[in-house]
Amino acid sequence: MPRKASRPKTSSLDPQRKADVLNRLKTIRGVTDGIYRMVDDNVYCMQVVKQISAARASLDRVARIMLENHVATCFVEQVRAGEGRDAVAELMETLNFQKDLV
C-alpha cells in the first residue's frame, strides 16, 4: 500500500517553552566555549570533565523538554491523524538514542 505524502515536520513549541529552550542552549553554548578555553589553557583534566558533565546534564534537560513537548503536541496530532503506528515507531527510535531520558 503506497504511503501518503507526509507534511513537512516542524516543532510546535509554545513561545514561552521555546524561549526557555533557546536560553538553555545559549547557556550551554557558553559552557562549551568555556570548556574549549579550559582545554586550550591546559586547565586540570578533572575540572574540564566536571564542566563537560554539567554541559551534558543541561543538554539532557533540553532533550527532555523537547521530548515532553513532542509527546504532548506532535505525537498526539499524529495519532489523531491516523498515523499512530508511525508516531510510535519514530518515538521508539528516538528513545533508543536517549536511554537516559526514559
Closest CA to 70 of 19, 17, 25: 17
Distance between CA atoms of residues 86 and 64, nearest Å? 21
Superfamily of the domain at 15-101? Metal-sensitive repressor, helix protomer (1.20.58.1000)
The pLDDT of 75-94, averaged and rounded, is 92
Q: What is the pLDDT of residue 7?
A: 58
Considering the entire predicted model, what is its pTM? 0.79
- Sequence spans of domains, the chain: 15-101
pLDDT band at residue 11 under the 50/70/90 scheme? confident
- Determine what percent of the chain is predicted with pLDDT higher than 90: 74
Distance between CA atoms of residues 79 and 85, nearest Å? 8
